[in-house]
Every structure is written in structure tokens, then in C-alpha cells.
Amino acid sequence: MIFQCKDEDIKKVLDYIGEDYGKCLYIFIDLKKFGLDDENFNVWIQYNENDICAIISEYFGGVQIYSKEQDLLLEEIADFIKEKDTHVLFAIKPIIDKLKPFLPDYQQETGTVGELLELKYPPNPKAYSAPIEELPEIVKIVAEDEGIGKPYGYDSLYEQYIQRKKENFGRNFVLRDDNNEIICHAGTYAELPELAVIGGVITSVPYRGKGFSKETLSSLCKELKDENKRIFSFFYIPSAEHMHYGVGFEKIEDWSKLFKD
């Protein structure tokens, strides 16, 4: 049975997750950040008799699923997804693989979720944490990237970046060339006192292949490690995988999403 989570259930959910953040990052982050007070964020618990077998969260229509033992009741969750007409859902790949036969109209995309265990690449001392005044320049670069920012558009990205910055929920490291132009960016998409999620790592085309992404990402990661945060990242393409492993990330699990147009 699936029951909507109430305030008195939050501790139960967090206890179920424990420190297994990497397999349900945004369930954990959103629950810690919003509680259940945000109308756009909801959480459900699936029980098999009296035992929790899955946690489901929804934020602005995107669903994430976590099951510690991968013993979720698949058909019931698939019916839940269909009833809500969910357009995108996320989970570790073994869970998505199990759900896919019940959701034939969805396409699947797979990547990796990793965690930085040891910083292996030297930071660039010229990379720095940019102040809020530099966000228009940063967002312009990210919004021009086909794979990272272009689908969102400048205005939407700028609103997201400003909000994260004001709430201390994200930061932006940049590296500039001799003409003071930004050539590389690495940021965090979400932060809590105990963890951070990397995002928006991008290098200007003329400067790619020279190690600047690794240096800038490493500079960001060093600052986060100095704050005793666990550091996570999602990556979907071979070049991003190579970069993250070079900096010191290690694979936690294959990560998948199901989506439909």
C-alpha cells in the first residue's frame, strides 16, 4: 500500500534512508530542505504489510523512487506513476529496469551517480567562488551549452542560479583567461550541511581538452571537502565520466531515468 507522508512520518523516512544518500539524493535533499511545507513537494511511503519497501517523492512533476532492498511492489508503483501521468522519474538503474516493462510508453536513459572519495587532481589556484554579481555572465555561458543549459533557456537558468545563491543552496566556481573571460565553470546544484551535488561543469569550446574542467571541478571539490561535505555528482556521457573519475569520484551505482514526450 502507498500512503502519503505526513509530518510525523519524516523521521521514519530519514531513518529508512540512513546515510544511503547517493541512491536517493533529491528525496533526501528536498525532504531536509522543504519538509512537507512546499506545495510542490510530496512524499509517499510504500509498505509491504508493515515494512517500508519504497519511498516516492514528487517535485514539480518529477518523481524519484528509492528502495533500500529493491523489494518495491512494482505493479502498484507503476499504477501510481500512470495515475499521476508522470513525465519523468528517476532511480538507480536496477529499479528502473524492473519498472520499465510496466511502463512501455517511457524511454530510458542511463548514466552514473558517483561520490568523491579522494581528491586526486590538483586544483587551479586561479579558480574562485564567484559572487552573485557575476551570475549573468555565468548563466550566459551555461545557457549556450547544448547538453547542459540550452534546454532550460537563459531566464529559467538565471532564476534557478539566483535562488540557489540567495539560499546558500548552490555556489559557482569559475576560471578566467588572461582577458578576464570565463573559460570554465563548475557549480553545485544543491547543498546541505552534510552534502553537495555537483552540476553545470562546462568549458568554452576553444579551451576543451586542456584539463581546465578537472582543475576547476577540483577547486570546487576542495572547498566542499574543507567544509566536511560528502560530494556527489551525476554524469551521463563518457567525457564527463572520464573527468569525474580523474578528479577522484568513484561510481556508486548506475542511474536511470524514464521519460516521455
Any idea which residue has 570546487 for its cell? 220
Q: pLDDT above 70 covers what percent of the chain? A: 98
Q: pLDDT tens digit string along 164-216? A: 899 999 999 999 999 999 999 999 999 999 999 999 899 998 999 999 999 99
Put simply, whether the predicted model's pTM sits higher than 0.85 gets the answer: yes
Is the CB of residue 168 less than 8 Å from the CB of residue 191? yes
pLDDT at position 210 is 92
Strand partners, 235: 112
Give the residues of the chain that fall short of pLDDT 70: 147, 149-151
The secondary structure of the chain, three-state, reads: CEEECCHHHHHHHHHHHCCCHHHCHHHHHHHHHHCCCCCCEEEEEEEECCEEEEEEEEECCEEEEECCCCCCCHHHHHHHHHHHCCCEEEEEHHHHHHHHHHCCCCEEEEEEEEEECCCCCCCCCCCEECCHHHHHHHHHHHHCCCCCCCCCCHHHHHHHHHHHHHCCCCCEEEEECCCCCEEEEEEEEEEECCEEEEEEEEECHHHCCCCHHHHHHHHHHHHHHHCCCEEEEEECCHHHHHHHHHHCEEEEEEEEEEECC
pLDDT at position 125 is 96
pLDDT at position 40 is 86
pLDDT at position 150 is 67
Q: pLDDT tens digit string along 105-129? A: 999 999 999 999 999 999 999 999 9
Decide the pairing of beta strands 249-259 and 230-235: unpaired
Strand partners, 132: none
